[in-house]
Structure 1
């Protein structure tokens, strides 16, 4: 929801052109750099086509343009057990391959501020977000979490299976961040419908990723709740600023906010 995307075809070659607002350029370039790093170690990630002078993006009025190599395949099904295994395996492998990755544009952990003005949008928002942030703070005080470069929003549709080759690519690195590895796993679990519906995903990630099983078991519930707080914060800000980037109907922002509300009330 943070970019405008176009398909580009040059002869038999296919690309994806993405335009992001200037405010997101640094994070966008960090994500492109992550994709480039993964492509070097044989993980298809929609690597960027650099400009003639070696830049990752080209400046536009009010934004920046990046050109990415197209990654083909069908999106994984978040409800399919086999797809969940592939999903967890590839996310874990990406975390391992990105060990030691740094980029100055990668946002630092974490960015949710319980005192933000947009959390006045609805009465439940500030208390729910504040509670999730406080729970995360307590976890980080008592537990030492594994950290590294993260995808930031590893939904099932960001993982593309090519039926012809069996390869699974990972796209959409524009939400990249540096933080606890389990935050990325919590994001995937959120999209899978919660911990009770994501056993295959969690097991596959545990086998392939860099995080000890004990840390996953201890940290996942708290980081899943925080992930829903991130959703609430994100959609509240979009509604407040009337941001409709990437959606056809502003009602989608409201639905996203209320899905987060329901999850935070029951989680």
Structure 2
């Protein structure tokens, strides 16, 4: 599964759903079960409908429904809820403007995987990612905070020290920034990606919504984290570099068994 931002930034309709990955099998995609969807206008929208200048796109509401995996051998069910808005989608010469109701998710259960996690990834990192994914739709700042925690867990997996000893032999916990600086001595490129994720997480942790944390910021952090996880747990770049070196050395001839 590649990191496709359009899946995580656009609304959907029951007739035009995003190809979200199934959280259970990660191979199938989720499609709406149309008869399961219900929607109601907000109290404010019902009040505004009596206004003499009312237009359809004033309507706001809430929705809930169910999605199901397209793979029959999986058929996982996912609950989704969120907000609705009405937007103009065309114009009929006789009837005038035409409108459609768009659905803006704020919650999925179970949470949707925003990217493919390497199979060898630790359970602690995987569990923290699931928490981040669950928060992505509802609270960008809290999601970024969870992504920052993933950085801590990755460094621990890589055996980067969490503490240092003082001259008086007291044990002091290292800041995340300092741990990344230590790791930089081993891999400067990955350390830079981790540092970027850390800064995004810091904004989410310390400034929250007041800091202007948005979905684009969180997606930046998630995409960088995905890159780190692939390199740490699958070592794709090193593996491909070795493969290329061996092929060049053999001048393209097949490898002998």
If the length of structure 2 is used for normalisation, what is the TM-score? 0.29
Task: Give the number of the structure with larger relative contact order, counting CA–CA contacts within 8 Å between residues 6 or more apart.
Answer: 1
Report the structure number with the largest CA radius of gyration. 2
Greater strand content? 2
The TM-score normalised by the length of structure 1 is 0.29
Structure number with the higher helix fraction is 1
